[in-house]
Structure 1
């Protein structure tokens, strides 16, 4: 069996409805994993991500959860942690962004972004991670960002949250590695998704971004597939606390 084979494993992917999350779910299914997709607006049946997973020959379950609601996130964690079939892989990908200069960045936007991108991630991971530790195995992958390393422009809440995700990845890895649980993160570069549409539509910003990327193009969601499967697989058994950039060379520029 290949070290990258995920046959028989159960993966939870948050933010699975579209973009990076959908691509991650599809990649895991193609590697053999069954998938539970979670998103605030995920259709009960017939979603694109469900079709992707089923087309790969795996099972799919949809759960609609609003990550802006702390109680809903805690309930999701209790549900998943209490099931007879344990979660083998947790992909913490749900996120949101609000763009405004720091001097005009409202408390409401700040609190929303920190809740969805950081606090909810911790609450869900705490619940599922406890079951993984009890079993002595599990893979947890966070979606970090280039803004886990850099400051960005007009996104103070998002930057703070993504720096937090990088720190949380390392903190949990330190505690959970001895218990057989791998905690790592992927830091996507500039990926052409809804979250970056405003940047893609701005000719000045878009050109500046492309000029900085050695690969010379915006990333695609499927560019995250290989890293996702790798970190979720036995091939990454000795990786702990890594924040892996998939950025077309941006950080190396």
Structure 2
């Protein structure tokens, strides 16, 4: 019997693929058998990752550099990704940025860039790629959001607003594309111990109060989120649509 988690031959676009969580998501999807279109700003970093995935897993991997703060670049990425393997079966909107600012210090340029990358880009990709998926009668869109989209986080005004918007955008994608066989869901982690997570939360004195609020008693590892993405991309979640899968060890249950 074929495993519902077998993604052999599925064509997937992963944004923000070269750093931290995005890199782990790409590796996990490659291990599951996916053919990948990887996007980030740096071509060199993309090509290095692509070569590693081809060597390790023998899957097809192509790269499309793009700056998702630019709406034209985002549209070009959608077109290029759809053309690479003759369509897409899965879209993983992983790219995101955070610029910590107090509410009273927020500036228009930072607000606009965070909202452009974290909300406008995945919305445009979901719209354009979702339309192409709908024409084939199937597809899965997975948006990487954050617990900060549903629980207020100090000094993250633009970030929390962008992730809250992404949660609702996901629901509208699910509502409108569902009748055509396309599912849309989100994943919302708390702190993930990527290299950036280690830098920000690696100090025990700073991490301890946050960990004390997580019932499982530890932060998430990249694989915790990547495995959730694979689940939502796979046939194992065939009846899951419009859902936010929280990966936070129970943090938001308190």
- TM-score interval w.r.t. the shorter chain? over 0.9
Which stretch has the larger CA shift, 229-238 or 201-210? 201-210
Structure 1 CA distance, aligned partners of 2:168 and 2:42?
A: 28
Alignment of 1:106-125 (within 5 A): 106-125=107-126
> Residue 18 of structure 2 contacts residue 46 of structure 2 at CA under 8 Å; is this kept in 1?
no
Structure 2 CA distance, aligned partners of 1:77 and 1:196?
A: 29
Structure 2 CA distance, aligned partners of 1:50 and 1:156?
A: 38
Backbone CA RMSD of aligned residues: 1.8
Which stretch has the larger CA shift, 187-196 or 88-97? 187-196
Give the equivalent residue in structure 1 for 2:201. Answer: 200
Cα separation, partners in 2 of 1:68 and 1:45, compared to 1, 3 Å: closer
Secondary structure of the 2:143 match is strand
Structure 2 CA distance, aligned partners of 1:225 and 1:70?
A: 27
TM, length-normalised to structure 1:
0.94
Secondary structure of the 2:231 match is helix
Structure 2 CA distance, aligned partners of 1:217 and 1:53?
A: 33
Give the equivalent residue in structure 1 for 2:229. Answer: 228
Which stretch has the larger CA shift, 102-111 or 75-84? 75-84
Give the equivalent residue in structure 2 for 1:151. Answer: 152
Q: What are the Cα deviations for residues 117-137 of structure 1, in whole angstroms up to 9, with x where unaligned?
A: 000111111111111000000
Secondary structure of the 1:43 match is helix
> Offset of 1:144 from its aligned partner?
0.7
> Offset of 1:30 from its aligned partner?
1.0
Give the equivalent residue in structure 2 for 1:77. Answer: 78
Q: How many pairs does the alignment contain? A: 253
> Offset of 1:42 from its aligned partner?
4.0
Question: Within the alignment, does 1:249 sit opposite 2:230 as a pair?
Answer: no
> Residue 17 of structure 1 contacts residue 42 of structure 1 at CA under 8 Å; is this kept in 2?
no
Q: What are the Cα deviations for residues 44-94 of structure 1, in whole angstroms up to 9, with x where unaligned?
A: 665235413541221211211111111111111122234562111100000
Give the equivalent residue in structure 2 for 1:22. Answer: 23
Give the equivalent residue in structure 2 for 1:89. Answer: 90
Moved over 4 A (4+): 201-204
> Residue 14 of structure 1 contacts residue 39 of structure 1 at CA under 8 Å; is this kept in 2?
yes
Gaps of 5+ in 1: none
> Residue 13 of structure 1 contacts residue 25 of structure 1 at CA under 8 Å; is this kept in 2?
yes
Give the equivalent residue in structure 1 for 2:191. Answer: 190
Which stretch has the larger CA shift, 51-60 or 197-206? 197-206
> Residue 27 of structure 1 contacts residue 228 of structure 1 at CA under 8 Å; is this kept in 2?
no
Which stretch has the larger CA shift, 46-55 or 184-193? 46-55
Structure 1 CA distance, aligned partners of 2:220 and 2:43?
A: 24
Cα separation, partners in 2 of 1:203 and 1:102, compared to 1, 3 Å: farther
> Residue 18 of structure 1 contacts residue 49 of structure 1 at CA under 8 Å; is this kept in 2?
no
Give the equivalent residue in structure 2 for 1:103. Answer: 104
> Residue 96 of structure 1 contacts residue 195 of structure 1 at CA under 8 Å; is this kept in 2?
no
Which stretch has the larger CA shift, 120-129 or 88-97? 120-129
> Offset of 1:202 from its aligned partner?
5.8
